[in-house]
Amino acid sequence: GENVEQHPSTLSVQEGDSAVIKCTYSDSASNYFPWYKQELGKRPQLIIDIRSNVGEKKDQRIAVTLNKTAKHFSLHITETQPEDSAVYFCAAGGLAGGTSYGKLTFGQGTILTVHP
Amino acid sequence: DTGVSQDPRHKITKRGQNVTFRCDPISEHNRLYWYRQTLGQGPEFLTYFQNEAQLEKSRLLSDRFSAERPKGSFSTLEIQRTEQGDSAMYLCASSVSQNSNQPQHFGDGTRLSIL
């Protein structure tokens, strides 16, 4: 099955700095890579996603890059703000059970702390 | 609020008891997923439905776990003879159904504590 590794496990930055979180995946059949932000005691919230036919995607201060050959993808947050502090999870998804699309395999999470 | 709804938010029970959780997906979403999340870890896939059909089950889902989605709308997850190791946050997510992976939207989860 799919295995997703996420690094670093904790990341501390000063407000205004950039933050980068990296993930690697093992299954070359995976073709969908979302990122979720989870604040303490709250639901995971989708912040950005990318499909395997795209190398980069941006949404304001957030960007994701994908290298299919190397099987890794990264989340980039620019101009970080204290409200960006949370746990961030990467995930990989692909074909599940024939022609259906289903499960996501998540990384272990990165605790991001943005200091004012 | 038309997001994914889960009930109850918290459940405390004694070891050996049965528990049942409910998930109401976003109304136009016909795919529904169950995940389990323990402290400090990412969600782990348990099972998923497309309409009323259960299409995949994880090996994590022992015989004590059963999930249903009888009318293709809400879903229930039942755990029989609960064990200490079942303590976790149980998350439900839903998505639309197309010939590709679609964004999964999560509910707030049910936190299960086994005494």
Burial of B101 (0-12, 13-18, 19+ CB in 10 A): buried
**A54 CB within 8 Å of a chain B CB:** no
Phi, psi of B92 (to 5 degrees): -115, 145
Task: From chain A, pick out residues whose CB is under 8 angstroms from the CB of B110.
Answer: none
SS3 of residue B12 by DSSP: strand
**Nearest to residue B88, comparing CAs of B107, B68, B114, B67?**
B114
Burial of A27 (0-12, 13-18, 19+ CB in 10 A): middle
Which B residues 59-88 touch A at CB under 8 Å? none
**B101 CB within 8 Å of a chain A CB:** yes
Task: From chain A, pick out residues whose CB is under 8 angstroms from the CB of B108.
Answer: 42-43
Q: Which residue has the tokens 């746990």?
A: A87
pLDDT, tens digit (0-9, with 9 covering 90-100), for A49-80: 998 888 999 999 999 999 999 999 999 999 99
pLDDT at B49: 92
- Quick one: average pLDDT of B34-53? 93
